[in-house]
Amino acid sequence: MANPDPSFRSATISVLVDNEAGVLARVIGLFSGRGYNIDSLTVAAVDASRTHSRINVVTSGTEMVIEQIKAQLDRLVPVHRVADLTREGPHLARELALIKVIGTGNARSEALRLADAFRARVVDATTGSFVFELTGNTDKIDAFLELMGPLGLTEVSRTGVAAIARGTSAITLRPDATHGTDKGSS
């Protein structure tokens, strides 16, 4: 559905949170309760002591809605940092997909050739099937899946997007995170 508002855009937002019970439910509940979109969501603990998790969410909306999403996320009590990677500079976004293709004959060898071109790895094979492992941005995986469609594509499992800023800028706990006064999103 085309959105007439020219400021409608996609945003990849990374959120650093306390790794505590219910924190993911809070974030998801915020999106569903306020009617925001979730196009992709990933979450995992990101430090050795597993006290903090990083949530990457891909969402879309008008500029006003995306600013509102960031402000709403930032006011959740267990949230430390909110970063709009799409807005703050170049970033990398990757997801991993496991793709099962079932087929024989020409389709099978064509699937293998295309997988090679996309640098998808064969992680399981039988005489009648492959499981490919493919890493890349969302567009690359979508393109590969489209090609596999007529070649016996049967099942897909995708991780959703993990994202990180390029260069030296980093989303980490502030050194003053335990005693500081700011909780901004820059």
Partner 1 sequence: MDAVQARTGAEVLLRALKEQGVEVIFGYPGGAVLPIYDALYQQNAIRHILVRHEQAAVHAAEGYARSTGRVGVVLVTSGPGATNAVTGLVDALMDSIPVVCLTGQVPTHLIGNDAFQEADTTGITRPATKHNYLVKRAEDLARVVHEAFYVARSGRPGPVVVDLPKDIVIGQAPYTPAPDAEHRSYRPVTEPDPGQIARAIALLKAAKRPVIYSGGGVINAGPDAAVALQEFVRLTGAPCTSTLMGLGAFPASDPLFLGMLGMHGTYEANLAMHGCDVMLNIGARFDDRVTGRLNAFSPNSRKIHADIDPSSINKNVPVEVPIVGDAGRVLAALIAAWRADPARPDTQALAAWWRQIDAWRGIDCLRFSQATAAGSAIKPQYAVQRLYQMTRALGRDTYISTEVGQHQMWAAQHFRFEQPHHWMTSGGLGTMGYGLPAAMGVQIAHPDALVIDIAGEASILMNIQEMGTLAQYRLPVKVFILNNQYMGMVRQWQELLHGGRYAESYSAALPDFVKLAESFHAVGLRAESVDQLDGVIRTMLEADRAVIADIVVDPKENCFPMIPSGAAHNEMILGPEHADRAAGITDEGLMLV
Residue with smaller CB distance to partner 1, 19 or 138 = 19
Give the residue with the Cβ less far from partner 1, 73 or 97. Answer: 73
Q: Tell whether residue 68 is a contact of partner 1 (CB under 8 A).
A: yes
Give the side-chain half-sphere CA count within 13 A for 155: 7
Residue placing its CB nearer to partner 1 in the complex, 25 or 117: 25
Determine, following the binding rule CB under 8 A, whether residue 160 of this chain makes contact with partner 1: no
> Is residue 4 a contact point for partner 1 (CB under 8 A)?
no
Query: Interface with partner 1 by CB under 8 A: which range of 53-61, 65-73, 89-97, 142-150?
Result: 65-73
Instruction: Report, in Å, the least distance between residue 27 CB and partner 1.
Output: 11
Among 22-30, 90-98, 148-156, 162-170, the segment contacting partner 1 (CB under 8 A): 22-30
Going through 5-115 in order, the beta strands assigned E by DSSP cover 9-18, 40-45, 52-61, 79-84, 91-102
Name residue 19's amino acid.
N
Stretch touching partner 1 by CB under 8 A, among 39-47, 70-78, 126-134, 149-157: 70-78
Of the candidates 118, 116, 113, 152, which has an alpha carbon nearest to the alpha carbon of residue 135? 118
Token pair recorded at residue 30: 């915020």
44-to-15, 19, 55, 102, 136 alpha-carbon distances in Å: 11, 9, 7, 32, 19
The 72-101 site mask, x for binding partner 1 (CB under 8 A), equals: x-xx-xxxx---------------------
Which pair of structure tokens corresponds to residue 135?
Answer: 């890493």
Buried b (16+ CB within 10 A) or exposed e, 122-139: eeeeeeebbbbebbbebe
Contact footprint for partner 1 (CB under 8 A): 18, 21-22, 25-26, 29, 33, 64, 67-68, 71-72, 74-75, 77-80, 177-178, 180-183
